[in-house]
Structure formats: structure tokens, C-alpha cells
Structure 1
């Protein structure tokens, strides 16, 4: 059937624009510029070099909406290589954009590189940070929030506003000094403090020196705010609480949770949560916001406490008195386990799609493989202090893994990572997990280290189905939650304990699996999971090709093109879209008119 006349032509143009997302680029794509540079700041009263983003510490919040295409141009004005990673943001079919050394060549000083990925079928609270050379210990981080499309209803009443809070332990030594200490086989020792939104503690008692700039969060009485909280620190789990206010847990790293009230919650390194907090207290004074360390000697670590102020617009005075107490569970080892397993999916809520989150019945899927990853305290390997998983301390190959595959670079890495701890000498190696595409696997994280750890997997969310103290055995599977376990991308593993996760390997690429504690990660406690579709796939449906602006290094250094500006890259994309529109329109017009 032909469509005739100008109205028909307009219909064709509208149809093609709609199909290719070319007429509504403001809705379909978002563009951001992030410039990493050094500035001098004194968050704990001591001048030091920190890493700013666009001149600010912490960096700006990136706000996007489900399914948008995101372009982030990162300009490196540091004096060393850099990459920015987006943990928890599930880049479908494009690990090329992941921002870690196993998948990306680093951005050299004075260069820029534009990341391009889609936040496909995703919502939630995340953050970005520089992934190389211990740089996160100096800053460079910021919040990354993915909001629902308007057609998907929220499982709660629309809040009156959004608030972002980053918490993290902090050292007054710069990141180069910290990594030098690790290189020399030393422990980092106790942090110098805890920052809230890049600022030091409010002077709640005489232990806090004068002149420290603290964070103030201003709110209106009676209103409800969604508060996104990220632990962006080095290695310390922090207990987060707001004096006299209930924290109604709403979401964590992309999944809506059962809405339980907490007076405080442990937030481990690399984790993100969002709470609904109603300002229902009287305004006789301001209130404390506290982030204090956990799993440490509280008496010794007392000064390592972050304190900010919650200020009602009609407040009549400053916050005074003692800080709200942390959990009193010194003699109750079950407390932290019970708290963790109480965080569960809201299975009736819609996430990024209109179907309920619980419609994916993960507990009914047969497990195709089991991997047990065992961590122990750092040890000396070949005269250097190293951290291991299953006895292997990872060394990043000179050429990123997937680039080595595409350009047939042999010997760059090994697909021989053991699925169980082996009784053999510890070693450093570029050993990678050879994973099976479309597999549904069980990963057991066994922490035989002396510190609580966080582990993270790029490119995926996984179901946290079990957690306990002790050595994991197959009998523990009987205690797994196979119905409403929370799905997330970063989970804690208690010292002397284990955490079990289930993950569906449906995202092709090479994905980093690592300790999120910066010291352990820096010392080699990581590997990669190579998830490749080995079936014939000439149309390349399961993985995007190497990006046109790819950086090359290692054995492929000869392929590196001259530096391009972000503007030229975006112009190239715009030109390509314009040409695609013309070609498609021509075909439609030729066919229909």
C-alpha cells in the first residue's frame, strides 16, 4: 500500500526518526565533560593535593534516564595515566567502555577520551571514579544516578527532592605516597578521618580541631527526600545514620528493595544505597549525619568519624550533645549477617521495565558452574607484597584482553584461572576466568583475610543468596535465598566468612571481578571473566565492535591514531546519524512514493 502526498512524507520522516531516535536527541542522548585535575584542598585541615572533577571535589553528579545513550568525554590533566570506571552501570555488549586496564588502554596525560554507552534497562544509584594508580584515594569520584522513565511507576510516592551523600575514609597523604607505601610492603595504617561530600567533620567535641569545613544538608520540615549514599573510600566499612531520623531503604545499586526502616546501616566500600527520609522532627536544633568505621577497635579509631549537619530551614540552633550511637554488636556476631540478609528485593516493584523485579525466577535456574574464590592476607611473592585470589595475584597484561583477542595477540593472558583454591605455590600472573556465555553460575567468595572486604563484578548484577561466618561447604546451599535475594554489583564478605552469589552470564565481554578495597585491589586481588559468544555471529548481535576512538597500547601501540577532540568524535557520530537518516529516508521514499 502506497502513502501519497506531503502528509504521507511527513509520516515517513516521523516514523524513521522515531525508529532511529534521531529526531529526539535531547531525550535519547546525554553529553558530559569530565576534566580530571589536581587542586589543593584541606578537608581535614591539612593542605594536600586532591583530584578534582571539573574543578570540584567531589565531582559533579551525572543524571541520566533509563535507556539513554551516554557520552562522557574525560580529559586527563593529571601527570599520569588515567581511566574512569562506572561500577554497577551495566554496559550491555560493550566492555570496551568499562574503564579498567583489562579492557581499556589508559588515557595519557593531556589527552581526552570519550566513553559511549547505553544505560539499557537500568535504574539506580551508582558512582564513577578513576580506576588506576590508587587515584580514588585522592578523589576524582562523583555520583551517577539513573532515573526511571516516566512510564514506569515508582514503588513509593515521588520524593520532594534528591540528595547525594558520598562517604569514605581519608588519608592526608596523597595517593602516590599511599601506593609507594604498599610497594614497599607496608600497611596503610589507620585513616586520618572520614569525609562526607569531600568535607571533614563538624566540631561535635574537642577532638575535632578548629577551622575544618563541614558539610551542611539543608531541608524543609515535613518533606521527604531520596538520599543517595555512596561509600567511595579506600578500605573502611562505614555505619551511616542520621540523628533521630529513620532511614527507609528504597534501592541499592539498581534494584528496589523491600522498604524496611533502619536507624543505621553498614555501607561497605564501593556500595551505594538510597533511602527515603522524612523530615518529621522538631526544629529545636540541627541534627547530626554520621559515618563511623566498623569492624575496627572503636576506642582507637574514635577520631576517624565523619560528621555532617542536617539543617531544617526553620532550625532554631546548632546540633549539640553526643553523636547517635552505632550498633552495639561487639558480642553479637550474628547482627551483621542478619542485617545484610534482611536487604531483599521488592519482587512486586517494576525496575527499568514494567514487569515485576521478581519475574526473573533465578532460584529455579540450574547452576552450570561453581567458582570458589579464596582471599588471604597479603603475602610476599617474588620479593613484593601481593594480594591473591585462589593463590594468583593478577598482573594486568600490556594489551587489554579483548583487544588482544580481536587483533590475535598471542600470550597476552591465560585462560587458566582455577575454579577452586589449589595447593600450589602462590604466583603473579595474567590469569583469566574462561566463562561460558549464557551460563548461570555460582560464585563463592571465601574471605580468609583478617579484614572485611567488598567484591565487585563489572557488567553485571548478581543475586546475593547466602552469607555467613566460617568455611563454605556445599551443605550451605540449603540456606540460600532462592526467591527474593537482593541483586546488586558489590557485596561484602565478612572476615573469616563467605558470601555466595548467583549470576546469569548474558552480557558478552571481558569483565573485571575484583576486591573493591583499594589496597587489596592495587596489590593484585582481581581477575577478569571472559564471557564470549563462541557461536558463529557474523552480524555481531551479541557484542559491539571495537569503538572507532579506541586507544591502543602494548603490542598494538603502532595502531594509535593522533589524539582527537571530543567535539570531533561527537561530530562524527552526528554526521553518521545524518547520513543514516538520509539513506533510510531515501529508501523509504523510493519504496513508498
Structure 2
């Protein structure tokens, strides 16, 4: 018995030692099985991409500084990469989930992503980044909560509500790809989904019977945090809830100055948090609406997304016409002015105790200036392509970051032009040479007739200005140098420009692209390479043990599925759990 008591005390001491070593940053483990399922979001059976059998996929819900481990099993019939949109992944572009940094996960393989949500809070989402797969699903919400010691700049809501909106085609992503490959437009989508479901039948002429729609149940008098993500293909959507104010509180990791909106334009790839108080009399349910913007309203009425907000004491079904979208047919500045009104809350804490605005971006000297101009699609070598600065990006067989790691020559050129090319457009793997700890000004110039949104991986950017016409040096006089919102995805209106500033302090190779899937698929992207001249693991984590190899490095790839090799930190976390169980058993022995 004495030996048992000695062993029990020994286990308890070991467990306490491991706890002290590993308690700093907790781990959150997820298993994702990505597969095809049959669903009928618009009333007709079609193939969609599900995560763990769900469409949309499960919510990742973690807290600042958590280590997130996601094991992804690819049960599709084509390569797969999962991208964590807006998650900055400090020091680790190895986990970014785009072709410039990662080899794809082959069918029937699994691969484990591991990254830390360092110093981040807010509303984000994940999605498959290859082959226009997001047009068929595979997306889900990614929430990062404040640590308990960091206050949020509003009263704690009664609950969280996730709403994923987006345009939707009955054709799956492979059919959409074939259309683009043959030079055709995708055309008008077949609908707008809300949380993977079609519209409520508010109008029997426009909406057929038998479509499953989203219903969100709420308690009267309570305030909820409503997180809205536009995960669609290419359509900007206006979001609104009948008879309810939307108090904007956060956008892609930055708390905003709190302002009420009756509706807000949410562009492809963007995420917002609203505080919505359920202050109506519940005489009936209320419409949740997501409708297309900058299109022919009468033609597009049939693709409006409609869900239902249901009070627990509601006395009947939603009724009457839908709440109206902004009537700005003859005022093209309405939406832009709305976007300009979204400001950073510089007095609120972000993920750390210091106020968000303490960065004081307006007083930092700019080291590099890039004007990135897109135009209408062009023909290059007989194929329809899209461009930035006259270059249509070609993804190499060997990912850029992997080529750097192994010094593979000729994979890409570090010569992306600072201004648009004057010659004919061309196909290139051309990359921006970023300066580590530099402060880059990027002007996104949209010389196309369609709305574009742009996303930069690995960073939040400061949105300092936007206007119609061509950007000039004098345009800097209109910049907001104090409380421009910091976010990862920004809109650029047709025939207009948007200026952003970004501090290049995150080492890696980071994708900058349009979020419009058709334009992205046809080449409207590039990468920013940020290298610390001093080799150190303090600014970039080493290549992961389970890295996949392809292209010129295919010979390094083991034939078996190597992703079963869990990282040391993941292993130690599981070991700690085992030791804790043993310690519990030991305590039972002691008490006995």
C-alpha cells in the first residue's frame, strides 16, 4: 500500500510539472472530414461540399492565443486546401492553406494544420481555397473570443448568432470552372443562401414551395451578437433584418465605433458583427434579408435570400413585403459613404490591454508604394484571363514558400511591377518584394464595371481612403490617418480606388487576391514575400514536420499519408491529458 501511495504522489508531481510547462497557451483540437453530400438548398438536389456532413461546416470557437489543431481528411475526388480567412497566423505562412505556400492535400489523404491565433479577436471564416470549391460549400465560421481579463467594449450579449450569406449556383464548382475555362461568364446566380438554405416563401410567384429556409429563434428583450459573413462567389449583398437596428460593433478582428444601420452592404469575403436587440412586439416573425447590390433590381428579385427571425413568443408568421434595400440607383456614392462611416474604435482594447489605436499608423513613414490595377478580363494565349497590373498570375507546381525553403530556382520572379505595365498583358508567376518591417501603401484601382473585394493573408490592413476616379498623388490629402478600420478584406467600387496601409511585420509569403471567385480563378492575384534577413525562429516558425511536397520537390514526399505525425506540442497536450487522468486515479488511491 505504501508503494501505491508513493507512486500516486509521484504521478501528481509529474502532472503538476507538465501543467506548469504547458498551461500558457491552451490547445483546441478539431477533426474535419471534407466530403460531397447531396443537398437541396434551392429545392433541387445537387452536390455540395460538407464538413463533417454539415453544410455549412461546424463553427471553430476558440479564444485569443489558443493553439488550433485541425486535422483535415480529404474525401473529395480532387486536391484540397483549407484556408483560414483573416486569421493572421503570426510567423507561420506554412499553415495558410493557399497554393503559394502549401502543397495540396491529395484525395483520401489527411493533413493536420496547426497554428496559433496570436493576439486576435473577432469574426472570421474558413473555406476550401482550390478550384473554386467554395462555390460548392466547405465553408464555416471561425470565432476568436477575448480572454476573460480583456473587456469587450459592450455589454456581454445574451448569445452568438452566425449567419453565412452568399450567392449560389445550382451548377457545382466543376461546372462553373468549365464555363470559365471556355471563356464564358458565370451569369446570374440561381439564388442567395442564408446558412446554406434557400429563401422563405415570402412571395409565391418568386419563390416556389418546398424550399427549406433558415429560422433563427431569439428571446424577446435580449441583445445578441450577430456575426455575418459573405461567403459567396462574386455578389455584393445588402443585409438587413425587418424592423430591427443593426448596431455595428466589429469587423474582421477590429472593434468599430458603434453605429446603427438599418442595412449594410457586405461584400464578398467580408465579415461583420452586429449587436441586435430583440425589442419588437412579436406580433409576428420578422424577415432576415440578403439581396444583391449593384445589379438590375427587378431582374435579380428572384435570387434574394430570405430567412426568418422568430421570437419565442411570436404570434404568427412574417408578413408583408420585404424591407427595402437602399434606393440609390441615382446616387453611386451612398454605399461608399456607408463604407467610409465604418471607423476603428481606438479607445477599445483588442486582444491585448492596450487600446487598438495606439498603433498610430498615420505617423509612420511609407517605405513602398504599389498601385494594383485590375481591368476587365483579357485574352492571353487564346484564353480568357484576369490581371493585376497587366499580369495574370500562374500558380507554380512548387509552392513559393517551399521553393524558398529548399532554394529551388526559377519557380517565381521577384519583379512584380509597382505600377501597371504599359505593354500587352502576360502570364507570369511574379511576386511583390516586401521589405521586412516596412510600411507599404497599396492602392487598389478597379478599372472594371464590377465590384471587387481584395484580401491580404497574414495581416490586417488599414483602410485609409476610397473614391471614384483614378488615384493620384494628391489623393493622399483625403486619407483618414487616425481611425480608418483595420481589416483583412476591402471593397473597391467599379471605376474607383481604395487605399490601404500595412505594416510588414509578419514573415512569410502572403497571398493578395480578389475574393470574387471567378476573377481569382482566372489569375487576379499575386503574393507579397516578406523575409527577415536574419535567420531566426523568433520571426518565422520552421517548416512543419508533416509538410507535403510537390512539384520539383515531389521526390521528398513519402508514399504514405504522413499527416499522422502529430506535432510535439500537440503530442504533449494529449500527454498532459493522460497524466491528469492518471493523477485523478492516484488521488483516489491516496483518499482510499
Scaled by the length of structure 1, the TM-score of the pair is: 0.93
Q: For each residue in 1:313-358, what CA deviation from the matched residue of structure 2 results, as whole angstroms up to 9, or x when unmatched?
A: 0000000110000011111122111100100111000010000111
CA distance in 2, matches of 1:179, 1:326: 31
Deviation at 1:562, TM superposition (A): 3.8
Q: For each residue in 1:180-203, what CA deviation from the matched residue of structure 2 results, as whole angstroms up to 9, or x when unmatched?
A: 000000000000000000000000
CA distance in 1, matches of 2:131, 2:79: 8
Query: Is residue 546–residue 565 contact of structure 2 (8 Å, CA) maintained in 1?
Result: no
CA distance in 2, matches of 1:565, 1:410: 26
Q: Is 1:474 aligned to residue 470 of structure 2?
A: no
Deviation at 1:564, TM superposition (A): 4.0
Q: Is 1:465 aligned to residue 486 of structure 2?
A: no
CA distance in 2, matches of 1:532, 1:331: 47
Q: Is 1:68 aligned to residue 66 of structure 2?
A: yes
Deviation at 1:573, TM superposition (A): 4.1
- Match for residue 540 of structure 1? 537
1:354-503 counterparts in 2 under 5 A? 354-503=353-502
Deviation at 1:563, TM superposition (A): 3.5
- Match for residue 556 of structure 1? 553
- For these two proteins, the number of residue pairs brought into alignment is 570
CA distance in 2, matches of 1:57, 1:70: 21
Higher mean C-alpha deviation, range 441-450 or range 563-572: 563-572
Q: Secondary structure at the match of 1:402?
A: helix
CA distance in 2, matches of 1:212, 1:256: 36
- Match for residue 574 of structure 1? 571
Q: Is 1:281 aligned to residue 246 of structure 2?
A: no
CA distance in 2, matches of 1:570, 1:30: 14
- Match for residue 234 of structure 1? 233
- Match for residue 29 of structure 1? 27
Q: For each residue in 1:117-175, what CA deviation from the matched residue of structure 2 results, as whole angstroms up to 9, or x when unmatched?
A: 00000000000000000100000000000000000001000000000000000000011
Higher mean C-alpha deviation, range 115-124 or range 39-48: 39-48
Query: Is residue 69–residue 114 contact of structure 2 (8 Å, CA) maintained in 1?
Result: yes
- Match for residue 246 of structure 1? 245
CA distance in 2, matches of 1:514, 1:231: 16
Deviation at 1:575, TM superposition (A): 5.2
- Match for residue 513 of structure 2? 514
CA distance in 2, matches of 1:542, 1:121: 15
Give the alignment partner of residue 88 of structure 2, picking from 87, 90, 96. Answer: 90
Q: Secondary structure at the match of 1:359?
A: helix
Q: For each residue in 1:537-575, what CA deviation from the matched residue of structure 2 results, as whole angstroms up to 9, or x when unmatched?
A: 2x4221111100000000000001244476541578425
Higher mean C-alpha deviation, range 11-20 or range 321-330: 11-20
Q: For each residue in 1:349-386, what CA deviation from the matched residue of structure 2 results, as whole angstroms up to 9, or x when unmatched?
A: 00100001111100000111100000001111001000
Deviation at 1:20, TM superposition (A): 3.4
1:135-174 counterparts in 2 under 5 A? 135-174=133-172
- Match for residue 269 of structure 1? 268
Q: Secondary structure at the match of 2:89?
A: coil
Structure 2 vs 1, CA of residues 396 and 319 (structure 1 numbering), >3 Å: closer, same or farther?
same
CA distance in 2, matches of 1:491, 1:506: 20
Structure 2 vs 1, CA of residues 86 and 543 (structure 1 numbering), >3 Å: closer, same or farther?
same
CA distance in 1, matches of 2:14, 2:109: 39
- Match for residue 100 of structure 1? 98
Q: Structure 1 unaligned runs (5+)? A: 1-8, 583-593
Q: For each residue in 1:203-224, what CA deviation from the matched residue of structure 2 results, as whole angstroms up to 9, or x when unmatched?
A: 0012100100000000000000
Query: Is residue 440–residue 504 contact of structure 2 (8 Å, CA) maintained in 1?
Result: yes
Deviation at 1:534, TM superposition (A): 1.4
Query: Is residue 461–residue 501 contact of structure 2 (8 Å, CA) maintained in 1?
Result: yes
1:344-359 counterparts in 2 under 5 A? 344-359=343-358
- Match for residue 198 of structure 1? 196
Q: Is 1:81 aligned to residue 82 of structure 2?
A: no
